[in-house]
Amino acid sequence: MKKYFPMLIAGFGAAVLSVIPILKGFSCCLLIPFASVMSLFLDIRVNKNLNRISLSKAILFGFLTGLFATIFIVKFDLIITFVAKTNDFVESLPQSEIIINQMNLGSFTEEPMKLMKSMADEIRTKGFSSLYAIMIFLSNFITNSIFGIIGGLVGMGIFNKKIGHFTE
Amino acid sequence: MLKMLFITFSIVWFAGILIPMLLNENQIDYYYFLKMLYSPVCHQNPEKSFFYNNFQLPVCARCFGIYLGLIIAIIGVQFNLRNKISLRFLSLSLLPMAIDVALYQLKIYTYNKIVSAFTGITFGSILFLFIFESITESVMEKNK
C-alpha cells in the first residue's frame, strides 16, 4: 500500500488545486503532469528509491496519479454541486443553448439538449445527477490519464538525469 | 514499438486538429464532434483560436503551437536531428510561454495568437524531444 502513497498524495494535491477558480483552467495541462512528476519525486524521497525509473514505472505512476486525481476531482465537484445546488455546467447551460440554437443544427441537437436540461434540473432540485457524475468522471479520466502519463514520462527524464548525475 | 505508438498517436492527434480545414458547411456534424473530442484538453476560446474557412480549430492558438512543435520535433527525429536536451534547456523553453501568459494575465499586453503559437511551438518541440530522449534511453537500458 505504501508504494501507492506518492500517487495518492500527488493526485489529491492536484485535485485540491483544481478546485481553485483561476487554477481550474490549468487542471489538465499543467496540474496533472506536475502531479505525476511530484509522485515520482515523492517515491524517490519516501521510499528511498534511488534506482533509475523504468518506462513502465513512469507510465504506471502517471496513469495512477491521473486516476487518483480524477477520483478526487469528481468527488470535490459532486460535493460542491450538492451543497451549492449549482455548478459551472448549470450556470453556462442557458448561454450554451442560445449558441447551439443560433447554429441551426436542426433535430441533431434536440436529444442532447433535452438530456443536458434534465441534468441541470436534477442538479437544481436534488443537487446531484448520476448522468452528470458519469460524464465528468469519463471526461476527466480520459484527459487526466493521458496528461498524467505525459507527466510521468517527463518525470522519468528529469529524475533519471538527476540519478545518473549522482551515480556517475 | 512504444516509440512508434507515441509518434502515431501524436500524428493522429494533430491531424484531428487540422480536419476542420477540410470540412464544408454540410459537414458541420463532424466539426462539432471534433470540437467535443478536443474540449477536455483546451478551453477552445474563439478569441484565442485560429479560424480557417469560418471554422474555428478545435484547440486554441497556444495548444495548436504545442502540437505543431511536437510534429516538427517528430520530423526532426526522423532526420536524426537528435540532441541531448538538458533540464535547463527544457526549463528555458518554457520561459517564453510563461512570460507570455504572465504578461497577458497581468494585462500588460493583449493576447496575440501568433505569439502564443510560437511560444507553444518552442515548448512543444523541446518537450517532445525530451520525452523521446528519455523513452529511448529507458528502452536502450532495458535491452542492455
Residues contacting A148, CB < 8 A, separation 6+: A32, A33, A35, A36, A62, A63, A64, A65, A66, A67, A69
Clarify whether residues A134 and A110 are in a common domain: no
Clarify whether residues A68 and A139 are in a common domain: yes
Clarify whether residues A72 and A136 are in a common domain: yes
Cα gap A124→A87, rounded to integer Å: 9
Instruction: Report the pLDDT averaged over residues A23-52.
Output: 82
**Burial of residue A167 (number of CB atoms within 10 Å: 0-12, 13-18, 19+):** exposed
Q: Are A12 and A73 in contact (CB under 8 A)?
A: no
Of the partner residues A52, A103, A161, the one whose CB lies closest to the CB of residue B87? A161
Cα gap A113→A119, rounded to integer Å: 10
Name the residue range of residue A69's domain. 2-84+130-167
Residue A25, pLDDT score: 63
Clarify whether residues A108 and A144 are in a common domain: no
Verify whether the Cβ–Cβ distance A154 to B127 is below 8 Å: yes
Clarify whether residues A161 and A112 are in a common domain: no
Clarify whether residues A73 and A156 are in a common domain: yes
Beta bridge partners of B55: B52
Clarify whether residues A95 and A117 are in a common domain: yes
Of the partner residues A52, A147, A158, the one whose CB lies closest to the CB of residue B141? A52
**Burial of residue A17 (number of CB atoms within 10 Å: 0-12, 13-18, 19+):** middle
Interface subset of B 37-96, CB within 8 angstroms of A:
39-41, 43, 63, 86-87
Cell of A27: 487542471
Give CA angle at A93 (A92, A96), nearest 5°.
90
CA distance B131 to chain A (A): 6
| Element (DSSP H or E) covering residue B52 | strand B51-52
Verify whether the Cβ–Cβ distance A157 to B131 is below 8 Å: yes
Into how many domains does chain A fold? 2
**CA-based nearest residue in chain A for residue B43:** A25
Verify whether the Cβ–Cβ distance A153 to B131 is below 8 Å: yes
The tens digit of pLDDT for each residue in B6-38 reads: 788 888 989 999 988 888 777 777 787 788 788
CA distance B52 to chain A (A): 17
Residue A63, pLDDT score: 95
Residues contacting A111, CB < 8 A, separation 6+: none
Clarify whether residues A147 and A121 are in a common domain: no
**Any chain B CB within 8 A of the CB of A124?**
no
Confidence tier at B80 by pLDDT (50, 70, 90)? confident
The tens digit of pLDDT for each residue in A99-129 reads: 777 666 666 667 778 888 888 898 999 988 9
The full DSSP string for B109-138 is: S---HHHHHHHHHHHHHHHHHHHHHHHHHH
**Any chain A CB within 8 A of the CB of B102?**
no
All residues of chain A having their beta carbon less than 8 Å from the beta carbon of residue B135 are: 55, 153
Give CA angle at B110 (A147, A28), nearest 5°.
10
Cα gap A119→B38, rounded to integer Å: 22
| Element (DSSP H or E) covering residue B51 | strand B51-52
Verify whether the Cβ–Cβ distance B131 to A103 is below 8 Å: no
Verify whether the Cβ–Cβ distance B40 to A58 is below 8 Å: no
Residues contacting A145, CB < 8 A, separation 6+: A62, A63, A66, A67, A70
The packing angle between helices A130-167 and A110-126, to 10°, is 90
Verify whether the Cβ–Cβ distance A160 to B138 is below 8 Å: yes
Clarify whether residues A77 and A37 are in a common domain: yes
Compute the mean pLDDT over every residue in chain A, rounded to the nearest whole number. 84
Would the pLDDT of A166 be above 60?
Answer: no
Clarify whether residues A98 and A76 are in a common domain: no
Cα gap B13→B36, rounded to integer Å: 14
Half-sphere exposure in the Cβ direction for B69 (13 Å, CA) = 23
Clarify whether residues A78 and A122 are in a common domain: no
**3-class DSSP state for residue B56?**
strand
Clarify whether residues A65 and A13 are in a common domain: yes
More confident residue, A106 or A81: A81
Residue B64, pLDDT score: 93
Phi, psi of B52 (to 5 degrees): -140, 125
Q: Which of A59-73, A132-146, B80-94 has the lowest mean pLDDT?
A: B80-94
